[in-house]
Each structure stands twice: as C-alpha cells, then as structure tokens.
Amino acid sequence: MSAFPSDPSPSTDARTPLFDRMAVIGMGLIGGSVARRAMGDHGIARELVAFDADPAARDRVRALGIAHDVPDTLADAVRNADCVMLCVPVGAMGAAAAAAMPHLRPGAILTDVGSTKQSVIREVQPILRPEIGFVPAHPLAGTEHSGPDAGFATLFEGRWSLLTPVDGAAPPEAVVAVEALWRRCGAMTRRMDPAHHDKVLAIVSHLPHLLAFTICGTADDLEGESRSEVLQFAASGFRDFTRIAASDPTMWRDVFLNNRDALLEMLARFTEDAQAMARAIRWGDDDFIVDRIERGRRIRRSLIEIKQA
C-alpha cells in the first residue's frame, strides 16, 4: 500500500495537496462541486481529472474549465490517480466501480458520495482489489439542481460529510485522507456505521423527498379549477415542497430503491403519526395538535441554533 497523507490538517487553506492526481467520476452537482473546489487553492489535488458517461456533460466540463483534463474514457481518467471519487447515481455505483477497478493503481483510494451507504458497500466490496482502499462517504449538502452547471465550490462549507468505513476495506490512513479531503472542501466530518447512516438519512432526507414528490403528485391529480389554483396560489407552504420535488428523477429513484427497508420503515411510522394527527383533528383534540406543532417549531429553532437551517 502506498503512503497515504498522514497529516489530516482540518485547515481549508493548507497548500500542500493531499493528492497528486484525483479523478472525479460523474460530473453533476456533487462531482462538479468537488471539482471546482479541487481546482481552487484548497490543498486537495495537484491535478484534477474528470469523467462523465455523458459526452455532452464532458464537453460542458471542458467548456467550464473545472478540470485539468477530461478524457473520453473512464480508464484514462482513473489511471495513475491516487484518489478516485465516484459521484454517479447510487444505482450506477457498482458498474462505475467495476469499470474503474482494473485500471486503479495499487495503493489508490476509491471513495464515493452516494446518498445510500449499505447498497454502495454491498456492490463495491466484493469486487475490491486488496491493494485498493475503499472509503464510503456522503456529503450532506445539495440542491434540487443537477448536471455540470449546477455545482459550486462552496456547496460543502459548514455542512457534514459522513464517512462509513468498513473493516478491512481500507487502511486507517486512507480513511484519514478522505476525512481531510472533506475538511478541505469546507465540511465537518463524522464516522458512522453504514446501517445507522441509512436509517438516519431515511428520516432526514429520503422521507422528506418522498413526501414532496407525493404532495406534488396529489396536487397534480386534482381536477379543474382547484388544480390551476394550486399553481396560481402556490406562494405558500406548497411552494417549499416544490423546491425539493424539482430534484433529479434518476438520483431519487435510485435512492428510494437502494434504501428500501429503512425508507419503508420510516414511511410506516410517519403514516401512523399522520393518522394520529388526523384523529386529533377529527375529535378536536387541541392539546395533541398544539403539541405536534410545537415540536416542529422546536426542531426548526434547534436547526437554526446549530447553523444547519
């Protein structure tokens, strides 16, 4: 195993690059944001190479100038890289890792940014070469936009990036190096068990998106005048749902299908709680209704206090 960086300086302006050559695979919102950050003077990589399966995206990355090199094949992109970051939809992680694997140089770090962690680990670990360190990660930052134009270098500032390392899949120095990478992207890092990660994300990210897509579908199913009034008078709570409902269909289809158990469990709990609220409204249970609203307000206040709102 080659020497991984041993000084995981949390400083975002450290000038000695963590990596000599870093390859980002999948140049959408997240890959494009990491690439823009790495092209800045943040001590991430001396050379940033980018690849996307979509030729139009590769052309756009070239036009935007957000990578030093944009080869036409994945093999050329990952060859000689000491860090390869997969930024493709979670349903494509296994195929992207398999395509990269034979071309990775011994000692390279393979990492990913997928929104689900157990599924990515399930797909990558069995095909991992022993001399490659695999460090799964997930930055908790994003927007409803996708594609190479959507990224920006400050996306991860002040946000969490969760690492879900697996025993035997990477040497400790590789995990430390990926932590340092995210800190230089401006993020705070924490290590977490992959199953726990998927449970937490099911409630804080996956269920809210499911609800947003569903409420927009319900509104869209309304007939006649009510439906047109939804759009006309949408400057209300509904509008806030439409922001996340505008997110990429491929990404979210893959997230839902790859975190099925945790998401269905959270949806079942939510449905029970929604039924309890329905019952309170039917029987005029003021105390119950006020208690639920106050809980919502408390959660919002806490998020503002910890600067995550």
Ligand X SMILES: O=C(O)C(=O)C[C@]1(C(=O)O)C=C[C@@H](O)C=C1
Q: Which stretches of the chain bind ligand X, using CB under 6 A?
A: 115, 140-144, 205, 244, 247
Task: Return the range that interacts with ligand NAD (CB under 6 A); candidates 47-55, 171-179, 214-222, 285-293.
Answer: 47-55
Q: Does 304 bind ligand NAD (CB under 6 A)?
A: no
CB of 207 to ligand X, least distance (A): 10
Q: Which of the ranges 135-143, 189-197, 238-246, 270-278 carries the binding residues for ligand NAD, by CB under 6 A?
A: 135-143
Among 63, 95, 98, 281, binds ligand NAD (CB under 6 A): 95
Q: Is 189 in the site for ligand NAD (CB under 6 A)?
A: no
Candidates 114, 133, 136, 186; binder of ligand NAD (CB under 6 A) is: 114
Which among ligand NAD, ligand X, none contacts residue 205 (Cβ within 5 to 8 A by kind)? ligand X
- Strands 188-191, 19-25: pairing is unpaired
Nearest approach in angstroms of CB 247 to ligand NAD is 7
Mark 17-36 with x for binding to ligand NAD (rule: CB under 6 A) and - for no binding: --------xxxxxxx-----
Question: Is residue 25 within 8 Å of residue 88, measured between CB atoms?
Answer: yes
- Is residue 43 near ligand NAD by the rule CB under 6 A? no
Among residues 45, 70, 96, 207, the one that binds ligand NAD under rule CB under 6 A: 96
Of 82 and 248, the one with the shorter C-beta distance to ligand NAD is 248
DSSP code string of the chain: -PPPP------TT--S-SEEEEEEE--SHHHHHHHHHHHSSSSSEEEEEEE-SSHHHHHHHHHHT-SSB--SSHHHHHTT-SEEEE-S-GGGHHHHHHHHGGGPPTT-EEEE--S-SHHHHHHHGGG--TTSEEEEEEE----S--SGGG--TTTTTT-EEEE---TTTS-HHHHHHHHHHHHHTT-EEEE--HHHHHHHHIIIIIHHHHHHHHHHHHHHH--HHHHHHHHHT-TTHHHHHHHHHTS-HHHHHHHHHHTHHHHHHHHHHHHHHHHHHHHHHHTT-HHHHHHHHHHHHHHHHHHHHTT--
Nearest approach in angstroms of CB 104 to ligand X is 25
Question: Which lies closer to ligand NAD via its Cβ, residue 14 or residue 78?
Answer: 78
Residue 255 near ligand NAD by CB under 6 A: yes
| Residues at the contact surface with ligand NAD, assessed by CB under 6 A | 25-31, 52-54, 57, 87-90, 92, 95-96, 113-115, 138-139, 142, 146-147, 150, 248, 251, 255
